[in-house]
Amino acid sequence: MPPLRLGLIGAGRWGRAYLRTLRDLPDLALARLCSSNPGSRSLVDPACRITADWREVAEARDLDGVIVCTPPALHAGMTGAAVRAGLPVMVEKPLTLDLEEARRLQETVERAGVPVLVDHIHLFHPAYRALKREAARLGPVRAIRSEGGSWGPFRKDTTSLWDYAPHDLALCLDLMGGSPLRLAARVEESRQTPEGRGENYALELEFPGGVRAGVRVGKIFPEKRRRFVSWFGECALVFDDLAPQRLVRHPLPEGWAGDPPLPEGPGEPVPHDYEPPLNAALRAFARGVRGESLEGFGVGLGVEIVRLLKEAEGQLPPEGGSINPER
């Protein structure tokens, strides 16, 4: 079977991660790249056509699919153009910055009938996939805690709510299989640093059945964090992307009630195969392009995350800042 011919719009920091990953996947070939950086030629094969005009990629007739890896303010226009041209799209998070724009894009995608995958990257992480399989066996989720952040990035036109929270919200909504009934947001810390103003946020989500999910995100964390804990009746599962064992199981006291008990000790590793999450996401995109499986496809989750982010932002003080984030 010949490799799929893909186009990539955007060769920034995360776009270059796509370039590196595509080189490791022999069944995928980068045929077109949109980049205005002359140095991009050294990053791709000689056969790859480079242009500064994104429409030459989004509307190309010699491609099997398009990856949109640009600032979110550009996602809707580029994704919409590609699906109207009949091309499947893999688009970065957040889907858009504006809820009405996200909904219009959803209508465009549904009318076109073209598969679109929003790259909420941690949903493709093998450790999270293993957590979901364990969750199906363990019974209903009783509580969730999620943390994601680091020191930076410090950008004048964005807050860490849009930089980091899409990941945590995607994990919570995916595991719970639906949206929260209520959301509360507050600023946990906000201060000026030598690099710029930074902030940490706390979100509280309540799902049907009284299940609560606490989320902490920010760009003034003392160290990088990506941790997702889910509690069940008999145990807690801890997915920590920065730990030596990315997924561990912690037994809990029998009949526990109230606040979830803190997992203690190293825990029991949960075996799972590993590959880099971006590899897994691109393989999922390839399966959708080939018509083998549309698992993980659709823009509904992306639209709902934009809605929740706007709701959270509306609860925050004005110093939360304007938004125009990029990956």
Separation CA 293–CA 133 (nearest Å): 18
Burial classification of residue 159, based on how many CB atoms lie within 10 Å of its CB (0-12 exposed, 13-18 middle, 19 or more buried): buried
Can you tell me the mean pLDDT for 128-151? 97
Residue type, 208: P
Q: Is the pLDDT of residue 157 over 90?
A: no
Listed by start position, the domains of the chain span 4-121+278-298, 123-276+309-320
Beta partners for 202?
186, 216
pLDDT digits (tens, 9 = 90+) for 12-54: 989 999 999 999 999 999 999 999 988 899 999 999 999 999 9
| CATH superfamily membership of 123-276+309-320 | Dihydrodipicolinate Reductase; domain 2 (3.30.360.10)
> pLDDT, tens digit, for every residue of 184-194?
999 999 999 99
pLDDT digits (tens, 9 = 90+) for 87-104: 999 999 999 999 999 999
Q: Has residue 213 got a pLDDT over 50? A: yes
Distance CA 275, CA 283 (A): 11
The token pair that represents 6 in the structure block = 């893909």
HSE-CB at 322 with a 13 A cutoff on CA atoms is 4
| 327 pLDDT higher than 70 | no
- pLDDT surpassing 70 at residue 320: no
105, 57, 37, 49: which is closest to 77 by C-alpha? 105
Residues with Cβ within 8 Å of 85's Cβ and at least 6 positions away in sequence, in order, are: 58, 59, 60, 61
Fold designation for 4-121+278-298: Rossmann fold (3.40.50)
Contacts of 42 by beta carbon, 8 Å cutoff, 6+ apart: none
Under the phi-then-psi rule, with left for phi > 0, alpha for psi from -120 to 50, and beta for the rest, what region is 265? left
As a whole-number percent, the residues of the chain with pLDDT over 90 amount to 87
239-253 confidence digits (pLDDT tens): 999 999 999 999 999
Q: What is the pLDDT of residue 319?
A: 56
- Which amino acid is located at 52 in the chain? A
